[in-house]
Amino acid sequence: MPDTSGGGAPAPLWLPDWLDQSRRALWRPYTQMKTAPPPLPVVSARGVRLTLADGRELIDGVSSWWTACHGYCHPHIEAAVREQLSKLPHVMLGGLVHEPAARLATRLARLLPGDLDHVFFSDSGSVAVEVAMKMAVQFWLNGGVSGRTRFVSFRGGYHGDTAATMSVCDPEEGMHALLRGYLPEQVIADLPTDGERRTAFSALLAAHAHEVAAVIVEPLVQGAGGMRMHDAETLRFIARACAETGVLLIFDEVMTGFGRTGSLFACEEAGVVPDIITLSKALTGGTLPLAATVARSPIFERFWADDAQAALMHGPTFMGNPLACAAANASLDLFETEPRLSQVAAIERHLKGGLEPCRTLLGVVDVRVKGAIGAVQLDRAGEGDWLRPHFLERGVWVRPFGDVVYLMPPFVIDEDDLAALTKAVVEVVGLWSRERAS
């Protein structure tokens, strides 16, 4: 059986002084730092490759938490940020405005379907979802309706690490079960992927509609909850159920937005226009932190009033940062001028063929592919510490979590590098499978 008691990434050939000196000062994410191996020091990145301090190069198979859709250091984005830096690195949006934010809001409104025309900027996906939830609750309050303060979310879902967003994550399998007593209590449902679950969901929503502000869902793919995938009809059913009960619908496209599932936005595949949509991650091409919460006109109109108390009282200090907006505008340029969606289609075809051999391996429960996302689900969680060193030996950066080994490469990856990633997954999962059988 594989040893999962420790392990992890092997130490680099040498540790830079800055890493050794920061061992306790730098608090790392999702890590038990007392027992974890040191992180790998990255000194540069270009295209799809990360260069470590010891000179090794790794093919990035996860796009730095799913952000670097154009690869690293794309010259068009780099030039846009440099030009903006020389003119205006930052200015508050409170009482002031600047062209990059205005242009970006206008472009997003034009790209998004329907009347998703009203863009509120923030600086992370979690905050974008938090703003969406706040919008939904205040929408009802501004209309004179009290008591609609809860949300319906789904098992297997993940929406962020801030307080409100933690409450709509999966309460059992998610990362936040330890904080259960601190979090607001929401209504958790199974995704209505079949007839029985649809009947149950309709009944649940009808029973709670009087106290629910909105339903929130990750369209087509539940990301950090395990790369669980569902079809467009599931989203259409949820939308119909919301319309019938008068409940708002929020699509969390922090991960799925900007081409990852095969269309520019996952909601387009379903033909559904949610009341509110959240965007982040690939919004700036992985260059700078930026997020957006975008509302339909009927939502916005509830805040457009003579009464100052009807305004949305939210304003992150760095919202709409000019550098980040310049990067996002440049990223949108690339979606217009370079063949990103056809590249995603090619990645999907390769992942389907390249990961298929895993399906017959002992301990593999499922192999799933959607757009530029490929997932190999194992029959148990906690194997990452054993798996990661074997990926590093093969020159790839793949970071399994839970019971899933997944790939979400930059869209610009070429066929050889993509083949190296899928080959590494098949080999490493195969090695894990054989060792657990021995």
- Please give the backbone phi and psi of residue 279, each rounded to the nearest 5 degrees, phi first: -135, 145
* Inter-CA distances, 136 with 151, 153, 235, Å: 9, 14, 19
Tokens representing 78 are 């780099």
Q: Which of 281, 370, 406, 417 is catalytic?
A: 281
Q: How many CB atoms lie within 10 A of CB 71?
A: 21
Strand partners, 407: 374
Q: Which of 3, 17, 30, 34 is catalytic?
A: 30
Q: Is 30 a catalytic residue?
A: yes
Q: Which of 158, 275, 370, 406 is catalytic?
A: 158
* Inter-CA distances, 90 with 87, 96, 317, 323, Å: 9, 11, 10, 7
Per the listing, tokens 């997020």 go with 291
CB 193 within 8 A of CB 130: no
Q: Which of 252, 275, 403, 417 is catalytic?
A: 252
Q: Is 182 a catalytic residue?
A: no
- Please give the backbone phi and psi of residue 260, each rounded to the nearest 5 degrees, phi first: -60, -35
Closest CA to 151 of 162, 166, 173: 166
* Inter-CA distances, 160 with 221, 281, 329, 369, Å: 15, 12, 25, 23
The residues that are catalytic are: 30, 158, 252, 281
